[in-house]
Amino acid sequence: MPNWISRLLGGGVNAPAETKTFSGHTVMSLSQLGAPNWSNRGFASLVNQGFARNPVVYRCVRLIAETANRVPLVVVENGRKVDEHPLASLLGRPNGRQSGGEMLEAVYAYLQTAGNAYLQAGLVEGEVKALFCLRPDRMKVVAGADGWPVAYDYTAAGRTMRLPQDGALPSVLHMALFHPMDDHYGMAPLEAAQTSLDIHNAAGEWNKALLDNAARPSGALVYSAAGGSLTEDQFERLKTELEQNFAGAGNAGRPMLLEGGLDWKTIALTPRDMDFIEAKHAAARDIALAFGVPPMLLGIPGDNTYANLAEANRALWRQTLIPLVVRVADELSNWLSPAFGGAVIEPDFDGVEALAEDRAALWSRVCGAEFLSDAEKRAMLGI
């Protein structure tokens, strides 16, 4: 009676020889999904992956910064707008390398990408003679014993300069968007859109790889002939022919002739199965949502929230741009007002075409109020 070793090895010494035949069965290995790869949440990584590589992020940031910059900031002294004033001249030409519009555009863009924007005052004999916009990734808060910032360290070219905040006018204005988990630094819309940003970028990379691979999803050539398996020489020759004749975008659409028991088995989802286009549009809409930009203004299909572009444009102004411009103007005013005799900085929305209907309605309501005097009406209209 054969023991367990002989049964495991196929029988004893006197056991009859067995003849094995290849039945053409194919063994396939299925692997589980791996963990997703997310980009880093640092400023440099988000800017490189988002602003520098993603068209949706780039357009959102540019749209907000350039459109908000169209609102002029005016100087108001004793309740009246003044054109000739040192503060107005400073805002018009803050330094020798930038105009006022360039500086404000950088401020708006940094708030969207970093959540923080820094302005440094150039002081000469105690007077503000220049304003400089500093890169957020080079700034570091120096907190005092009570936790409040007492200075800022600015690092560039391997050198660190400390900018104190203890003077009559703090040398640095730090504007930060709200962050629920950080006492000093703000949270940017770009950081909130990171998941959708990675999905959108991954979809673009997958699409590019698919095009480079002759627009075919990955699969396997299955050899199911009854004669056995491929020899080493046959395997290498088949692999070489596939790479030379069927791989790459230049061979897209070239027919493949299979013979000798070869069969092609697709082992990946097709773009149609993945609902590729809709998934990319959904990620783009989420990115636009994080920035507060109506997707209709970016040309993203599937957004029927607004009846037309004019209504979407008004929504952009009311929900995103006006709060942003008002906040920046208030920050600048509170910072610079003591150095310029109490003059304040206010945004002037009267010249904004998208808000013309809103301004006309305000004028109509105020002018129709018969219980108000002309002086009160002019004060309500900011004249």
> What 3-state DSSP class applies to 344?
strand
Mean pLDDT of 100-108: 96
pLDDT at 75 over 70: yes
Residue, of 202 and 151, whose pLDDT is higher: 151
pLDDT at 250 over 70: no
The alpha-helical segments, DSSP class H, found in the chain are 4-9, 43-46, 55-68, 86-92, 100-113, 189-192, 194-212, 232-245, 271-274, 276-291, 309-316, 322-336, 356-367, 374-380
Q: What percent of the chain has pLDDT over 70?
A: 73
SS3 string of 272-327? HHHCHHHHHHHHHHHHHHHHCCCHHHHCCCCCCCCCCHHHHHHHHHHHHHHHHHHH
pLDDT tens digits along 141-156: 999 999 899 999 999 9
Decide: pTM greater than 0.75: yes
Average pLDDT, the chain: 81
Mean pLDDT of 268-295: 80
Closest CA to 154 of 139, 135, 144, 141: 139
